[in-house]
C-alpha cells in the first residue's frame, strides 16, 4: 500500500483516481523494499499503472525505480516522459535493489540475438546476480532469461496463446503460493512457448506451477530467488479485451480470448477470475523473497 514512485508520475495519480488504496511514501527507511521495474512493454504508462496497482496490494513499504535501456529508444512513449521518470541501466549499475521485475515485450517472433538490445539485456541479467536479491522475469523476459541462462529455446505456437487458463501448483510448500486455491487462473497473451520437457531436463530449474492448457507457468532457478513467469498475472480486467478489439479493428487474424468474456461474447464484460491469486503472487514474492 505505501509506495514511492518518481515525483509527479501520472500513473500514480491515475491509480489513486481508480480508487485503489495506495499512499505516497515520503520517507525511505531500512524497512523499505527497493524494487526496480525494467519496462520493456511498448505502452510504458499503461504498464506502469499495471505494476503500481499490483504492488500496492502489498503491505510492505516499496520504493519503485523505473528502469530503461540505454541502447533502445521507445517509439510509443514521449521522450520527455522517459527522461523525467526513468533511469538508464548505466546510471543504475552501482545501485542495489531488493527486487527487480523485467516485463514482457511483443517481440517473441524475433530471434533473441536479433533483438537490438539483446546484449544490454544480457548485461542486466548478469548485473542482477550480484545487485538484486530477487528477480521476476515475466512473459518474453522469462523466455529470454531461460535462454540466456540455460540455453532453453522458445518455440513458435501454431496459434496465439490468448485467454485466461486454469493452473495448478506442483510445490504447495512454497511460500510463493501461500493463500492460493488448488486451481487458479492466469492471463496469457503470447505467440511462443517453452517446452515442458526442456525445463524438466535442466537440473538447475524447478518447475513450480503449470497448466494443462497453456503449459509451464512459474519456474525457479535453484539456489536463487529468481522466478520465471510465463503469464501476465499483473494484467487488469480489460487488457485482453483491448488487445482483441485492437487486432479486430486492424483486420489482423485473432481468435477470441478463451475463458474470458461472459458467455464467450465479446459484447459482454470479461469475467475477472485471476486477480485474487495475482495479488497474492506479488505480495508473497515481496514478503518472502524480496524482503531480506
Q: List active site positions.
A: 139, 232, 234
Q: Is 23 left (phi over 0), alpha (psi -120 to 50) or beta?
A: beta
Rounded CA gap, 279 and 184, in Å? 12
Place of cell 480508487: 19
State residue 147 phi and psi, 5-degree precision. Answer: -75, -45
| Sequence-ordered list of residues with C-beta below 8 angstroms from that of 36, at least 6 positions apart, any chain | 64, 65, 66, 67, 92, 95, 97, 99, 100, 101, 132
Closest to 164 in 3D by CA, of 184, 140, 181 = 184
Rounded CA gap, 24 and 9, in Å? 11
Can you list the alpha helix ranges (DSSP code H) found in the chain? 10-17, 44-55, 79-85, 89-92, 118-131, 140-150, 196-200, 239-249, 275-285
Amino acid at each position: 500500500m505505501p509506495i514511492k514512485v518518481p515525483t509527479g508520475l501520472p500513473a500514480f495519480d491515475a491509480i489513486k483516481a481508480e480508487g485503489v488504496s495506495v499512499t505516497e511514501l515520503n520517507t525511505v527507511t531500512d524497512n523499505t523494499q527497493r524494487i526496480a521495474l525494467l519496462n520493456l512493454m511498448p505502452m510504458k504508462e499503461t504498464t506502469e499503472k499495471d505494476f503500481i496497482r499490483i504492488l500496492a496490494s502489498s503491505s510492505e513499504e516499496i520504493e519503485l525505480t523505473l528502469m530503461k535501456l540505454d541502447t533502445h529508444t521507445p517509439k510509443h512513449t514521449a521522450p520527455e516522459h522517459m527522461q523525467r521518470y526513468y533511469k538508464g541501466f548505466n546510471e543504475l549499475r552501482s545501485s542495489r535493489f531488493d527486487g527487480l521485475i523485467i516485463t514482457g515485450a511483443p517481440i517473441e517472433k524475433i530471434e533473441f540475438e536479433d533483438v537490438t538490445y539483446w546484449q544490454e539485456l544480457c548485461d542486466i541479467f548478469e548485473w542482477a546476480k550480484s545487485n538484486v536479491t530477487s528477480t521476476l522475469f515475466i512473459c518474453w523476459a522469462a523466455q529470454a532469461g531461460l535462454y540466456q541462462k540455460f540455453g532453453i529455446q522458445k518455440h513458435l505456437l501454431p496459434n496465439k496463446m490468448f485467454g485466461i487458463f486454469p493452473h495448478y501448483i506442483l510445490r504447495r510448500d512454497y511460500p510463493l503460493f501461500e493463500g492460493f486455491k488448488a486451481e487458479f487462473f492466469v492471463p496469457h497473451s503470447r505467440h511462443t512457448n517453452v517446452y515442458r520437457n526442456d525445463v524438466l531436463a535442466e537440473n538447475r530449474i524447478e518447475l513450480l506451477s503449470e497448466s494443462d492448457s497453456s503449459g509451464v507457468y512459474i519456474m525457479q532457478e535453484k539456489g536463487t530467488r529468481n522466478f520465471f513467469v510465463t503469464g501476465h498475472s499483473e494484467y487488469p480486467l480489460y487488457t485482453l479485451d483491448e488487445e482483441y478489439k485492437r487486432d479486430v479493428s486492424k483486420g489482423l487474424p485473432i481468435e477470441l480470448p478463451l475463458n474470458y468474456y461472459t458467455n464467450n461474447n465479446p459484447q459482454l464484460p470479461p469475467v475477472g477470475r485471476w486477480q485474487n491469486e495475482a495479488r497474492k503472487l506479488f505480495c508473497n514474492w515481496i514478503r518472502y523473497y524480496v524482503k531480506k
